[in-house]
């Protein structure tokens, strides 16, 4: 079994098409088929079910795919560690973040990071399945909502932040020191769709209290959500991170209480992944940024669990 064969095998698994995989690899389709057949002969089991022009991974093939991806991940990690011994600070850093404000938080720090690591190429991915991508070694690290219940994941907590009711200065709640959570049910509300992680936190809190939130408007984009709210179409509930990023002067944000809504944001990475200088450098940049934000507005963050 050769590394080249496993590389060909992985590409075929991910494309599920011999011709596309051969183009991706830069070899001929017969050469690829020959290498896959040699691998199957060596293992004594079929790795793909061939149904006409279509192929599907067999159970044995799936086992080999997962182990091969892990092996190549370890090899890439070894190469990175060896390069650092030679003081080579280059390569690619792949960072994931949940779509929305967390993705924008990561993007806002790129100039600072690039100044310290000018030779490192940076890729940022916004996706809901970023933990899965971390586990499949597609990302070096990711920013998401904690906790993540998987023993293969290491977590670095960054901050716990509050949620606020946001509306125009003409709203009936404007001028209030706080808004009770159940009061939001009585006014028109504009929210992200149910697939959005912040929305899921809010829906879960209402569900535990025996209520169901029924928004007047749902939108998947931040700009349109703020547009509806600023036009007076209704209020919304947003995280402090998102409020600070847009900082509209014509909107007020009021703490939500009974209960206070909080979420914990942190960095996650695979426990077996080597964290090189670039990864550690980005973590340092991000934690320094969060520390600065907390110093400027300490009361707007949740102090502890359940705060």
Q: Is 220 helix (H, G, I), strand (E, B) or coil?
A: coil
Structure tokens at 87: 């003081």
| Ranges of each domain in the chain | 3-82, 89-158+264-300, 161-263
**Phi, psi (rounded to 5 degrees) for 230:** -65, -25
The residues with which 155 forms a beta bridge, in sequence order, are: 268
Rounded-to-10 torsion of CA 291, 295, 299, 304: 40
Contact at 8 Å (CB) between 267 and 190?
no
| Neighbour-count burial of 299, counting CB atoms closer than 10 A to its CB (0-12 exposed, 13-18 middle, 19+ buried) | exposed
A 10 A CB-CB count for 165 gives: 26
Q: Are 146 and 264 in contact (CB under 8 A)?
A: yes
- Pick the closest to residue 47 from 94, 6, 91, 105 (CA basis): 6
pLDDT at position 307 is 37
Going 136 to 140 to 143 to 147, the CA torsion angle's sign is: positive
Residue 270's pLDDT is 93
What is the model's pLDDT at position 293? Answer: 81
Rounded Cα distance, 193 and 245, in Å: 20
Q: What three-state secondary structure class fits 162?
A: strand
Specify the fold of 3-82: Arc Repressor Mutant, subunit A (1.10.10)
Q: Please give the class, per CATH, of domain 161-263.
A: alpha beta
Q: What is the dihedral of CA 204, 205, 208, 214, to 10 degrees?
A: -70
Q: How many CA atoms lie within 13 A of 227 on its CB side?
A: 7
Q: Yes or no: say if 285 and 113 are a contact pair by the CB < 8 Å rule.
A: yes
Between the CA atoms of 200, 102, 122 and 114, what dihedral angle is there, to the nearest 10 degrees?
-170
The correct answer on CATH 3.40.50.300 for the domain covering 89-158+264-300 is no
User: pLDDT tens track of the chain, all 307 residues?
Assistant: 788 899 999 999 999 988 899 999 999 999 999 999 999 999 999 999 987 777 899 999 999 999 999 888 888 877 777 766 555 566 789 999 988 788 888 988 988 898 888 888 899 998 888 999 999 889 999 999 999 999 999 999 999 988 999 999 999 999 999 999 999 999 999 999 998 888 988 999 899 889 999 999 999 888 999 999 999 999 999 998 889 888 899 999 999 998 888 889 999 999 988 888 889 999 999 999 988 888 877 666 776 543 3
Give the helix ranges, DSSP H, for 172-276: 197-208, 222-230, 240-246
Q: What is the pTM of this model?
A: 0.66
In degrees and rounded to multiples of 5, residue 163 shows phi and psi of -110, 150
Asked whether this chain's domains 89-158+264-300 and 161-263 adopt the same fold, the reply is: yes
Question: Which residues sit opposite 263 in a β-bridge?
Answer: 161
């Amino acid at each position: 079994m050769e590394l080249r064969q496993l590389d060909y095998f992985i590409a075929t698994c991910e494309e599920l098409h011999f011709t596309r995989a051969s183009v991706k690899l830069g070899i001929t389709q017969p050469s690829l088929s020959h290498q896959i057949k040699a691998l199957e002969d060596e293992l004594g089991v079929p790795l793909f079910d061939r149904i006409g022009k279509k192929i599907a991974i067999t159970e044995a093939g799936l086992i080999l795919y997962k182990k091969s991806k892990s092996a190549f991940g370890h090899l890439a990690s070894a190469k990175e560690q060896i390069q650092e011994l030679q003081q080579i600070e280059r390569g690619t850093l792949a960072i994931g973040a949940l779509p929305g404000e967390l993705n924008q938080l990561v993007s806002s720090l790129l100039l600072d990071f690039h100044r310290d690591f000018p030779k490192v190429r940076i890729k940022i991915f916004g996706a809901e399945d970023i933990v899965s991508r971390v586990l499949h070694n597609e990302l070096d690290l990711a920013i998401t909502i904690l906790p993540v219940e998987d023993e293969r994941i290491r977590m670095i907590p960054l901050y716990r932040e509050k949620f606020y009711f946001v509306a125009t200065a003409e709203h009936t709640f404007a001028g209030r020191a706080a808004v009770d959570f159940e009061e939001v049910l009585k006014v028109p509300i504009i929210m992200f769709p149910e697939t959005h992680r912040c929305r899921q936190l809010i829906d879960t809190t209402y569900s535990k209290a025996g209520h169901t939130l029924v928004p007047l408007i749902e939108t998947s984009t931040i700009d349109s959500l703020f547009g509806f709210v600023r036009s007076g179409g209704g209020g919304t509930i947003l995280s402090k991170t998102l409020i600070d990023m847009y900082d509209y002067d014509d909107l007020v944000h009021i703490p939500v209480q009974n209960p206070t809504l909080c979420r914990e944001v942190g960095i996650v990475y695979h426990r077996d992944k080597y964290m090189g200088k670039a990864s550690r450098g980005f973590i340092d940049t991000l934690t320094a940024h969060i520390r600065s934000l907390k110093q400027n507005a300490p009361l707007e963050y949740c102090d502890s669990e359940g705060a």
